[in-house]
């Protein structure tokens, strides 16, 4: 029997009231395992009103006490790590180890938020003028919202939610309707950690819920991670209503392999970064740029590794790659492979015919590897979001940098080389937000910040780290002078202080 999944409002699970719902499926079997409620505009408004009332007291709570709640959350997430990972594997399809790694990366941001008393400290200047002092403080925005994707149902809600509530806001999460169970458990852990009712709420839903949050006058800020098309929509709809918006979007990440690179290391990196989580990562490597004469040697190492990928259910400890999230998405990815062949790319490894005994209804496909891909091909230009790696041949280092810079997306990139001069030139000259040197997936640690360039982001703020603190707070500067020693007489000129 399918599980009924409603919403999490006021520190408790509540049933949906709209009468609309969607199926939640196990991508390994195709079985419908749950029904998730889709929130109406009225349900969104009710949750916002609860959050608005609760946020006033939460904002007045000393940061030291708020961070103690985050310490409690950290301990609870560590205790329930396997439970969170299992829910993700069952609804997303990623391997159990990968899911546990995702929880770990979310925990890093929770750990960062445990220092919020320090992160929100302002500046103080004594004697900016005679007997006059000035200082700055950061204050929370109020009720903020986050719209998160299916591929990281715990990590990205932590990136947003942990930072938002630690800063003194109330946070409403609209997670993906494809894998809602892990975010619901996360909300329960926030409550168990001591977070007051109404401060972290989960409203499941579709575009109706998204639009309700975008239009709501009591939600001054929206965070988004997902596709570029939807991210651009969220950004424009939000900013037209004078909301603060950060929208982190799609990607087409290149890894440049120089002739002097350690090819065993580079191959390991491409296998993990290209096919981990079935390629359903915005920081996945989907283009390998082989510079000079390294292409044939790289393909000789890559092809047998792709062919040997162990594909299976996420909870099978032998699996290296699980299924794609839905049948529709798997068919879309296979369509891109068809298009690549049609446009003349060489399909070195074809994973389209993969069949798993006992899992015939699952959303599985094997890894695909293309060679001789050119920049005018659809598989090069579009974000495929699946286990498809394209190899592009580049004659020179400068040509390789040009490929990276000319692409519409600018999320992440990497270079594999032993040459420090080449690595430094690459890092300084690529027009990309996150750069790895012999690191294939350069997702910054929690005390730095995540964010791409070009079509990979809309808005001025990255996510988590000090960028997160700045996004979820507003700056106030106070200038004060006390009566003692003030000279009589009004000042009518706006002049420099001395």
Active site residues: 282
Lookup: tokens for 416: 């594999």
CB 379 within 8 A of CB 333: no
Angle of CA points 302, 308, 309, to nearest 5°: 95
Helix or strand or coil: residue 191? helix
Residue 37, beta-bridge partner list: 21
Residue 23, beta-bridge partner list: 35
Query: Quick one: the chain helix, strand, coil %, rounded to 5?
Result: 40, 20, 40
Count of helix runs (H) and strand runs (E) in the chain: 17, 23
CB 284 within 8 A of CB 277: yes
Nearest 5°: phi and psi at 410? -145, 45
Distance CA 292, CA 35 (A): 53
Distance CA 307, CA 464 (A): 37
Largest CA distance in the chain: 90
Helix or strand or coil: residue 321? strand
Nearest Cα neighbor of 81 from 67, 98, 65, 63 is 98
219 half-sphere exposure, CB direction, 13 A CA radius: 29
Orientation angle between helical segments 81-91 and 63-79, nearest 10 degrees: 70
Orientation angle between helical segments 81-91 and 181-192, nearest 10 degrees: 160
Lookup: tokens for 43: 């349900």
E-strand stretches of 292-361: 346-349
Phi-psi domain of 487 (left: phi exceeds 0; alpha: psi -120 through 50; beta: other): beta
Distance CA 18, CA 262 (A): 57
Angle of CA points 221, 383, 439, to nearest 5°: 85
Orientation angle between helical segments 41-60 and 207-215, nearest 10 degrees: 50
CB 247 within 8 A of CB 232: yes
Lookup: tokens for 225: 């991670």
């Amino acid at each position: 029997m399918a599980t009924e999944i409603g919403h999490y409002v006021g520190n408790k699970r509540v049933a949906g009231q709209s009468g609309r719902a969607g199926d939640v499926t196990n991508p390994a079997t195709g079985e419908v395992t749950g029904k998730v409620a889709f929130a109406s505009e009225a349900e969104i408004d009710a949750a916002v009103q609860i959050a608005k009332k609760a946020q006033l007291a939460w904002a007045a709570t000393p940061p030291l006490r708020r961070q103690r709640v985050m310490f409690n959350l950290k301990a609870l997430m560590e205790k329930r790590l396997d439970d969170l990972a299992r829910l993700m594997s069952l609804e997303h399809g990623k391997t159990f180890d990968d899911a546990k790694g995702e929880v770990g990366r979310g925990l890093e941001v929770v750990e960062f938020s445990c220092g919020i008393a320090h992160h929100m400290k302002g500046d103080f200047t004594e004697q900016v003028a005679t007997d006059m002092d000035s200082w700055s403080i950061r204050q929370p925005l109020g009720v903020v919202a986050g719209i998160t994707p299916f591929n990281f149902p715990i990590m990205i809600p932590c990136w947003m939610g942990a930072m938002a509530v630690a800063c003194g806001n109330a946070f409403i999460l609209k997670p993906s309707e494809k894998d809602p169970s892990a975010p619901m458990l996360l909300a329960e852990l926030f409550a168990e950690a001591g977070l007051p009712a109404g401060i972290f709420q989960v409203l499941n839903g579709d575009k109706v819920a998204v639009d309700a949050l975008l239009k709501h006058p009591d939600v001054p800020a929206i965070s988004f991670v997902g596709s570029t098309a939807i991210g651009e929509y969220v950004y424009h709809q939000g900013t037209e209503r004078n909301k603060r918006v950060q929208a982190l979007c799609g990607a087409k990440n290149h890894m440049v392999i120089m002739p002097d690179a350690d090819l065993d290391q580079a191959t390991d990196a491409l296998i993990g970064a290209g096919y981990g989580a079935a390629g359903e990562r915005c920081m996945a490597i989907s283009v390998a740029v082989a510079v000079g004469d390294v292409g044939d040697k790289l393909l000789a190492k890559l092809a047998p590794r792709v062919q040997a990928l162990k594909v299976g259910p996420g909870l099978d400890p032998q699996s290296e790659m699980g299924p794609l999230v839905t049948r529709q998405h798997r068919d879309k990815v296979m369509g891109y492979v068809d298009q690549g062949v049609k446009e003349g790319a060489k399909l070195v490894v074809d994973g389209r015919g993969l069949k798993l005994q006992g899992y015939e209804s699952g959303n599985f496909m094997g890894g695909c590897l293309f060679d001789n891909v050119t920049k005018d091909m659809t598989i090069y230009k579009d974000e495929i979001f699946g286990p498809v790696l394209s190899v592009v041949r580049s004659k020179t280092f400068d040509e390789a940098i040009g490929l990276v810079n000319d692409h519409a997306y600018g999320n992440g990139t990497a270079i594999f080389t032993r040459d420090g001069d080449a690595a430094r030139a690459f890092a300084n000259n690529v027009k990309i937000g996150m750069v790895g040197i012999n690191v294939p997936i350069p997702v910054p640690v929690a005390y730095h910040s995540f964010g791409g360039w070009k079509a990979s982001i809309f808005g001025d703020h990255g996510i988590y780290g000090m960028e997160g603190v700045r996004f979820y707070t507003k700056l106030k500067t106070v200038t004060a002078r006390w009566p003692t020693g003030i000279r009589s007489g009004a000042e009518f000129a706006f002049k420099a202080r001395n």
